[in-house]
């Protein structure tokens, strides 16, 4: 389908790097108004201590307040397996709808079973304020954003194009980082290749903002590239890389990777739009650790 993309719109993009999870969150601001969005926020977790703190989220909240911006919505590009979302915390401080792709229901159904959540856990995406379908549009002040469904890493992955900027989540990394894994439940290497090609069909000058970077070969952390740079230099899908070659490479590489260290708490929290599981009668909150289930 043809997406309503306007390269003349140039958002102000401010990154926030979280070194504990190698995540980059973004504040995306409209130059023509005081409206903004937050993409892929982070809540800090000391896993061993069982303690959650909002230092990373507080940086975003402070930035928005200091610049007198108004938060229109929060975008989760997908259900992250490596960090907890801070969306509810930021919403309590600043408002703004919490959004995700409509295939969140697939994630909730899959991991609702893994974590034995029971019938009280809603699997219809109702924890979020809006669910996006492929091609859906939304407004951030005078800017129009459009959601592109890009499954493969997870079924619910979306790339969000706002003017001349695309926030790609884990669909693609910096050129020397290649691509994300596709071996989580519901992941598919062939779909991931197709989704990357969808991203690479955007205008060459489109700015791409990455959700994670690990500084391959010791380089400094980076988070912005372009479609043209990815097409020319991406080590997994650059010139001449066929779908079959990509799938073979991705399957072999994924078989060598360990699970993300925060996958257990992240999935339980993020499939609830960043909320914790319900507390017990004494007000205590617990996360489950399924054994041999993921």
Residue 279 lies in a domain: no
Above 80 in pLDDT, residue 192? yes
**Domain of 188?**
12-259
Model confidence pTM above 0.85: yes
Q: Give the mean pLDDT of the chain.
A: 95
Count of the separate structural domains present in the chain: 1
The 10s digit of each residue's pLDDT in 152-189 is 999 999 999 999 999 999 999 999 999 999 999 999 99
CATH number for the domain spanning 120: value is: 3.60.15.10
Q: How far apart are CA 114 and CA 116, in angstroms?
A: 6
Residue 283 lies in a domain: no
What angle do the packed helices 87-94 and 55-66 form, to 10 degrees?
Answer: 30
- The pLDDT of 12-28, averaged and rounded, is 97
pLDDT band at 291 (very low <50, low <70, confident <90, very high): confident
Above 80 in pLDDT, residue 225? yes
Residue 270 lies in a domain: no
The 10s digit of each residue's pLDDT in 120-161 is 899 999 999 999 999 999 999 999 999 999 999 999 999 999
Q: How far apart are CA 167 and CA 206, in angstroms?
A: 10
Q: Which of 111, 75, 80, 101 is nearest to 18 (CA)?
A: 80
pLDDT band at 45 (very low <50, low <70, confident <90, very high): very high
The 10s digit of each residue's pLDDT in 52-99 is 999 999 999 999 999 999 999 999 999 999 999 999 999 999 999 999
pLDDT band at 294 (very low <50, low <70, confident <90, very high): low
Residue 3 lies in a domain: no
Residue 2 lies in a domain: no
How much is the pLDDT for 293? Answer: 66
The answer to whether 146 touches 136, Cβ cutoff 8 Å, is yes
Q: Say if strands 97-101 and 70-75 run parallel, antiparallel, or are unpaired.
A: parallel
pLDDT band at 240 (very low <50, low <70, confident <90, very high): confident
Residue 83 lies in a domain: yes
Residue 124 lies in a domain: yes
Q: How far apart are CA 64 and CA 41, in angstroms?
A: 13
């Amino acid at each position: 389908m043809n997406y309503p993309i306007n390269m003349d719109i140039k958002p102000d993009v401010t990154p926030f790097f979280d070194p504990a999870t190698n995540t980059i969150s973004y504040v995306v601001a409209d130059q023509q108004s005081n409206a903004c969005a937050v993409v892929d926020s982070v809540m800090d977790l000391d896993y061993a201590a069982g303690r959650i703190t909002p230092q990373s989220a507080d940086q975003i909240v402070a930035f928005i307040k200091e610049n007198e911006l108004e938060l229109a919505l929060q975008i989760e590009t997908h259900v992250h397996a490596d960090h907890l979302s801070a969306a509810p915390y930021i919403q309590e401080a600043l408002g703004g709808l919490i959004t995700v792709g409509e295939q969140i229901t697939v994630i909730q159904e899959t991991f609702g079973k893994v974590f034995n959540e029971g019938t009280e856990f809603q699997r219809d995406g109702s924890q979020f304020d809006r669910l996006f379908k492929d091609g859906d549009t939304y407004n951030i002040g005078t800017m129009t954003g459009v959601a592109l469904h890009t499954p493969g890493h997870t079924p619910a992955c979306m790339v969000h194009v706002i003017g001349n900027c695309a926030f790609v989540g884990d669909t693609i990394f910096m050129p020397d980082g290649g691509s994300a894994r596709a071996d989580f439940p519901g992941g598919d290497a062939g779909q991931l290749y197709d989704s990357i090609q969808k991203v690479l069909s955007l205008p060459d000058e489109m700015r791409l903002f990455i959700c994670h970077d690990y500084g391959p070969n010791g380089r400094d952390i980076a988070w912005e590239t372009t479609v043209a740079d990815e097409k020319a230099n991406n080590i997994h899908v650059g010139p001449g890389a066929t779908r079959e070659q990509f799938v073979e490479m991705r399957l072999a590489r994924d078989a060598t990777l360990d699970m993300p260290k925060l996958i257990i708490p992240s999935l339980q929290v993020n499939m609830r739009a960043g909320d914790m599981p319900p507390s017990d009668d004494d007000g205590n909150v617990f996360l489950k650790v399924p054994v041999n289930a993921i």
